[in-house]
């Protein structure tokens, strides 16, 4: 028997040996019951350590291609696993539910001038600090045993309670908090826990599609309610709305904060009708003007508000960590829904985040990157005013993007496509409307470095003016 | 102005300083507008580095307790944040849905002799390898930007497709796979994507409560179908079942594998009625006898089987990583449901797992720990036969637990409680039945080290015999 094995890639020697031996078995070069060379001999012939060959043989054995016989050596199995068709059955008579039938669009491709929405800058992520905290969790000194609390790691819940108390004035103890996989899961769990199928839920128009989608998936009839300069028009709420999703700090996507009067009015409306409110506070950590308005959660005395926060903007969406602060019995119900949905959040990242909060590094990080985003925002607003005076910028005081209303004759879809071809990624407002949209654009400054902002806006302006 | 700050805990100096200054502000010892000592002076008085004090001051500023005035120093804010009530409103008129109203039980407490179910040994987790792979993801060389694919990281999906092809003969390409937060989310997403509210779903009786719960949460009428020595009794399936959850490799909790004849019969049943099957292959990586039976997924030619795998048993439940292999259009529908449920899985752990699989370390790990579990299992079976001959052990060939049927007069709930008081954790079979239960016990060997098994079973036997 002669096997040709050629090993090249350092660090991959055992993997190479395994793959070549496996290929030889599969294509018949090594026959069933053939004895493989002694590990010592093959290692010498290939000038590698014997461990490398032992490793390759062990994997062949583990995966059914070879068997070890005590005292005799390693042999190709009598019936190695046959080559398999490569795919699951390509057709199936099973029909998914209508709501899940549309293919998920791929994540947006990056652009040279990228005004992506709601994405923080990975270059600002505290890589070293986070790597240290995560690695510490995996040292195995306090090994995690089995399954954990559905509501989330107690240390993280306590840390978040303190953090949002200080940063946002939110009233919360650890027991009021449920850790979620980003804000999206918070919407999903709230919709599951609060809504019976067929009930009415209200969302802002325009509004955040992920929230609308989660409410619809729970079987709700979702009604869009118009937003004006003060936020959601409370008088336009359908009288039977059971659950209302709002973004009071930084309306998504328009950007205006909800006025205090409107906040009070919304709370009174919910109290009178026994409705629940989702306060989606997705990016208010970055505040650029004035004192923040009191969150609905702070104004709520009767237990109608579920406050949703996320670490996707202050740290990274890739972490998938968010939370809900829930009143009364709802925190326990959300934990129950979380257990049913996916058990609990991964443990080690929760503990790393708790440490990041507890030693003050998160607050410091937010302050540091907030200064950078403040600078980018000022440049973007100045560039828009200078290059695109025909757009009316929507006043805002927080967040990672700004919006601008265009003349209703502007074809923003075409503008966005032209801009993309010119290397500039911006979003039209239209996709955030369920009904008749206003013409306009939303531009994020989370991803684009300050020096590129002017050129990016100039290119965008050229796309509009050349049309 | 005089502030008493005493710093003790090394590594916590800045946090200590911050907390003591904050307390002084909150209780009025430091008045509004008071000037804080110059950082240099305070650092000298406390014999710490100036950076420590700067850090404490920065945090006071970030959290609204102090303001910096250029050229003048740091001052207590005119109106520091008032002390807040500590909790979200304790009462709320909002009533959660009935299905989420029961409080989530806390995770089981550990016992000195712990025969916990379905939990692998954290002492066997490849801590060093995993820490290295995770830390590599956080080096920031390939920074993750923004949101990612709902179906999961493409490299992990490709790695899993190869892995389950080799290890289990599963036919899958990367596009057939959706990454989930453990098997629990797989059940939840499948139920969401396949079932219309009010449709009938079938589960094994006895069976896995998490699966039953996910199907019920999707609005299904869940029917338990009895299990015999060959697995689910296909003739007892309700004729209108749209979705059937089974555990063919290692019936949960009884342990017997589903016979090949029964597998073929189940598939034919589903084909005739257009029903979907969840093949829950939760712990078959640990095989102890004979060749594995062909998975349903391999026998399925028409696209009725959704194969669910998890890394909770071979690695750790704390990772929350599982997957579905879905036929036809269902993979895309599950990705859509995943996007709606929580966006996508955290990115870095997915990439670390892909690397663990691709360089062969997962297969090696499974082989290594499989030998250890094989030894524990043999000891447990021998100890049960010796000490508790009145229990009938259910024959099984795989997994991390065994079950044993007791005489129907045995009060297993009382036995479990007595055993727990004696330091032995075992599970009664009864909670896994929705209807009339059989008396019996399930004992896991994932967590208990081999040398403790004999003593644990002896104690258990004493609890039974003394009663």
Above pLDDT 90, what percent of chain B? 69
Taking an 8 Å cut-off on Cβ atoms, the answer to whether A93 and B274 are in contact is: yes
pLDDT at site B1: 46
pLDDT at site A291: 62
Comparing B140 with A424, the larger pLDDT belongs to A424
Taking an 8 Å cut-off on Cβ atoms, the answer to whether A367 and B62 are in contact is: yes
CA distance B168 to B162: 10
pLDDT at site A350: 96
Range scoring the smallest mean pLDDT among A85-89, A389-393, A460-464: A85-89
Taking an 8 Å cut-off on Cβ atoms, the answer to whether A107 and B195 are in contact is: no
Q: In this model, does residue B321 exceed pLDDT 60? A: yes
pLDDT (tens digit, 9 = 90+) per residue, B157-195?
Answer: 999 999 998 888 899 999 999 999 999 999 999 999 999
Among B62, B151, B328, the residue with its CB nearest the CB of A363 is B62
The residue in chain A having the minimum alpha-carbon distance to the alpha carbon of residue B11 is: A359
Set of chain B residues whose Cβ sits within 8 Å of the Cβ of A169? 81, 84
Q: How confident is the model at residue A81 (pLDDT cuts 50, 70, 90)?
A: low
Range B66-72 average pLDDT: 83
Range scoring the smallest mean pLDDT among A69-78, A355-364, B157-166, B336-345: A69-78
Taking an 8 Å cut-off on Cβ atoms, the answer to whether B166 and A64 are in contact is: yes
The residue in chain A having the minimum alpha-carbon distance to the alpha carbon of residue B137 is: A131
Taking an 8 Å cut-off on Cβ atoms, the answer to whether A171 and B85 are in contact is: yes
Question: How near does any CA of chain B get to the CA of A255, in Å?
Answer: 20
End-to-end CA distance of chain A: 72
ipTM confidence:
0.84
The CA distances from residue B111 to B399, B441, B447, in Å, are 21, 16, 10
Find which of A104, A243, A354 to mutate to test the B interface (most B CBs within 10 Å of its CB).
A104
Taking an 8 Å cut-off on Cβ atoms, the answer to whether B146 and A85 are in contact is: no
Q: What token pair was written down for B449?
A: 């080290």
Q: In this model, does residue B59 exceed pLDDT 90? A: no
Residue pairs between chains A and B whose CB atoms are closer than 8 Å: 402
Set of chain B residues whose Cβ sits within 8 Å of the Cβ of A78? none
Above pLDDT 70, what percent of chain A? 93
Set of chain B residues whose Cβ sits within 8 Å of the Cβ of A359? 12, 15
Taking an 8 Å cut-off on Cβ atoms, the answer to whether B93 and A274 are in contact is: yes
Taking an 8 Å cut-off on Cβ atoms, the answer to whether A89 and B188 are in contact is: no
Q: In this model, does residue B66 exceed pLDDT 90? A: no
Among A93, A144, A165, the residue with its CB nearest the CB of B84 is A165
Set of chain A residues whose Cβ sits within 8 Å of the Cβ of B348? 318
Question: How near does any CA of chain B get to the CA of A182, in Å?
Answer: 7
Q: What token pair was written down for A48?
A: 């590698």
Set of chain B residues whose Cβ sits within 8 Å of the Cβ of A55? 360, 364
Question: How near does any CA of chain B get to the CA of A266, in Å?
Answer: 16
Taking an 8 Å cut-off on Cβ atoms, the answer to whether B84 and A169 are in contact is: yes
Cβ partners under 8 Å of residue A108, min gap 6: A116, A425, B146
Q: In this model, does residue B368 exceed pLDDT 90? A: yes
Q: In this model, does residue B71 exceed pLDDT 90? A: no
Cβ partners under 8 Å of residue B82, min gap 6: none
Taking an 8 Å cut-off on Cβ atoms, the answer to whether A135 and B131 are in contact is: yes
Taking an 8 Å cut-off on Cβ atoms, the answer to whether B318 and A148 are in contact is: yes
Cβ partners under 8 Å of residue B181, min gap 6: A181, A342, A343, A346, B320, B321, B322, B342, B345
Taking an 8 Å cut-off on Cβ atoms, the answer to whether B143 and A122 are in contact is: yes
Q: How confident is the model at residue A1 (pLDDT cuts 50, 70, 90)?
A: very low
Taking an 8 Å cut-off on Cβ atoms, the answer to whether B89 and A302 are in contact is: yes
Q: How confident is the model at residue A10 (pLDDT cuts 50, 70, 90)?
A: low
Q: How confident is the model at residue B367 (pLDDT cuts 50, 70, 90)?
A: very high
Find which of A14, A15, A20, A94 to mutate to test the B interface (most B CBs within 10 Å of its CB).
A94
Question: How near does any CA of chain B get to the CA of A71, in Å?
Answer: 20
Question: How near does any CA of chain A get to the CA of B219, in Å?
Answer: 9
pLDDT at site B170: 92
Set of chain B residues whose Cβ sits within 8 Å of the Cβ of A107? 146-149
pLDDT at site A247: 98
pLDDT at site B49: 87
Above pLDDT 70, what percent of chain B? 93
Angle between helices A50-62 and B361-387 in degrees, nearest 10 = 60
DSSP state of B398: B
Residue with tokens 């911006």: A426
Q: In this model, does residue B285 exceed pLDDT 60? A: yes
Q: In this model, does residue B70 exceed pLDDT 60? A: yes
Among B62, B100, B343, the residue with its CB nearest the CB of A320 is B343
Q: What is the DSSP string of B261-305?
A: HHHHHHHHHHHHHT-EEEEE-SSTTSB-SSSPPPPHHHH-SSS-E
Set of chain B residues whose Cβ sits within 8 Å of the Cβ of A364? 55, 58-59, 62
Find which of B89, B106, B186, B222 to mutate to test the A interface (most A CBs within 10 Å of its CB).
B89
Q: In this model, does residue A87 exceed pLDDT 80? A: yes
Taking an 8 Å cut-off on Cβ atoms, the answer to whether A303 and B93 are in contact is: yes
The residue in chain A having the minimum alpha-carbon distance to the alpha carbon of residue B163 is: A63
Would you call A461 helix, strand, or coil by DSSP? helix
Set of chain B residues whose Cβ sits within 8 Å of the Cβ of A331? 88
pLDDT at site A29: 74
Taking an 8 Å cut-off on Cβ atoms, the answer to whether B317 and A147 are in contact is: yes
End-to-end CA distance of chain B: 72
Range B400-415 average pLDDT: 95
Taking an 8 Å cut-off on Cβ atoms, the answer to whether B171 and A84 are in contact is: yes
Q: In this model, does residue B58 exceed pLDDT 80? A: yes
Q: What is the CA radius of gyration of chain A?
A: 28
Smallest CA-to-CA distance from A55 within A13, A8, A6 is with A13
Among B138, B274, B300, the residue with its CB nearest the CB of A89 is B300
Among A63, A88, A317, the residue with its CB nearest the CB of B325 is A88
CA distance A397 to B408: 69
CA distance B366 to B163: 12
pLDDT (tens digit, 9 = 90+) per residue, A298-319?
Answer: 999 999 999 999 999 999 999 9
The residue in chain A having the minimum alpha-carbon distance to the alpha carbon of residue B103 is: A332
pLDDT at site B44: 81
Taking an 8 Å cut-off on Cβ atoms, the answer to whether B93 and A336 are in contact is: no
pLDDT at site A4: 60
pLDDT (tens digit, 9 = 90+) per residue, A366-389?
Answer: 999 999 999 999 999 999 999 999
Q: In this model, does residue A281 exceed pLDDT 50? A: yes
CA distance B245 to B233: 13
Among A59, A219, A297, the residue with its CB nearest the CB of B364 is A59
Q: In this model, does residue A276 exceed pLDDT 90? A: yes
CA distance A456 to A122: 19
pLDDT (tens digit, 9 = 90+) per residue, A115-157?
Answer: 999 999 999 999 889 989 998 888 865 556 678 899 999 999 9
Taking an 8 Å cut-off on Cβ atoms, the answer to whether A320 and B344 are in contact is: yes
pLDDT at site B147: 81
B71 torsion bin: left (phi>0), alpha (psi -120 to 50), beta (else): left
Question: How near does any CA of chain A get to the CA of B63, in Å?
Answer: 6
Among B104, B274, B334, the residue with its CB nearest the CB of A339 is B104
Set of chain A residues whose Cβ sits within 8 Å of the Cβ of B104? 149-151, 332, 335-336, 339
What stretches of B57-181 adopt beta strand conformation (E)? 66-69, 73-76, 113-114, 177-180
CA distance B270 to B277: 7
Cβ partners under 8 Å of residue B251, min gap 6: B204, B227, B231, B257, B258, B396
Kindly give the residue spans of alpha helices, DSSP state H, lying in B147-241: 154-168, 182-194, 209-217
Q: In this model, does residue A71 exceed pLDDT 90? A: no
The pTM of the full predicted model, rounded to 2 decimals, is: 0.85
Among B88, B145, B328, the residue with its CB nearest the CB of A92 is B328
Which residue(s) pair with A247 in the sheet?
A: none
């Amino acid at each position: 028997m002669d096997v040709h094995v050629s090993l090249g890639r350092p660090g991959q020697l055992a993997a190479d040996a395994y793959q070549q031996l496996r290929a030889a078995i599969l294509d018949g070069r090594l026959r069933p019951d053939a004895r493989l060379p002694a590990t010592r001999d093959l290692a010498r012939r290939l000038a590698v350590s014997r461990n490398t060959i032992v490793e390759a043989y062990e994997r062949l054995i583990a995966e059914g291609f070879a068997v070890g016989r005590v005292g005799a050596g390693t042999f190709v199995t009598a019936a190695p696993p046959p080559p398999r068709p490569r795919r699951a059955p390509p057709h199936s008579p099973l029909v998914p539910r209508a709501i899940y039938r549309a293919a998920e669009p791929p994540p947006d491709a990056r652009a040279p001038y990228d005004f992506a929405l709601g994405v923080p800058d990975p270059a600002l992520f505290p890589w070293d600090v986070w790597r240290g905290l995560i690695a510490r969790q995996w040292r195995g000194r306090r090994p995690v045993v089995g399954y954990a609390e559905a509501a989330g790691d107690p240390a993280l819940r306590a840390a978040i309670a303190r953090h949002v108390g200080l940063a946002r004035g939110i009233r919360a103890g650890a027991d009021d908090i449920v850790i979620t996989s980003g804000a999206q899961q918070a919407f999903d769990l709230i919709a599951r826990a609060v809504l019976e199928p067929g009930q009415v839920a209200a969302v802002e128009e325009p509004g955040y599609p992920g929230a609308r989608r989660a409410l619809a998936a729970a079987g709700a009839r979702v009604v869009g309610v118009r937003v004006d300069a003060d936020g959601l028009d409370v008088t336009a709420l359908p009288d039977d709305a059971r659950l209302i999703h709002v973004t009071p700090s930084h309306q998504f996507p328009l950007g205006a904060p909800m006025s205090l009067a409107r906040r009070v009015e919304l709370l009174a409306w919910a109290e009178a009708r026994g409705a629940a409110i989702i306060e989606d506070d997705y990016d208010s950590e970055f505040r650029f003007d004035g004192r923040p308005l009191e969150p609905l959660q702070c104004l709520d005395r009767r237990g109608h508000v579920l406050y949703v926060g996320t670490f996707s903007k202050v740290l990274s969406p890739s972490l998938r960590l968010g939370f809900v602060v829930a009143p009364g019995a709802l925190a326990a119900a959300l934990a129950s829904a979380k257990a049913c949905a996916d058990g609990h959040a991964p443990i080690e990242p929760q503990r790393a985040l708790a440490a990041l909060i507890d030693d003050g590094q998160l607050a410091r990080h937010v302050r540091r990157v907030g200064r950078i985003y403040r600078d980018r925002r000022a440049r973007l607003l100045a560039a828009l005013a200078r290059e695109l005076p025909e757009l009316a910028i929507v006043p805002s005081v927080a967040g990672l993007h700004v919006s601008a209303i265009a003349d209703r004759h502007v074809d923003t879809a075409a503008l966005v496509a032209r801009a993309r071809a010119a290397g500039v990624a911006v979003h039209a407002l239209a996709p955030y409307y369920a009904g008749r949209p206003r013409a306009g654009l939303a531009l994020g400054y989370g991803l684009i470095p300050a020096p590129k902002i002017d050129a990016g806006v100039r290119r965008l302006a050229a796309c509009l003016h050349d049309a």
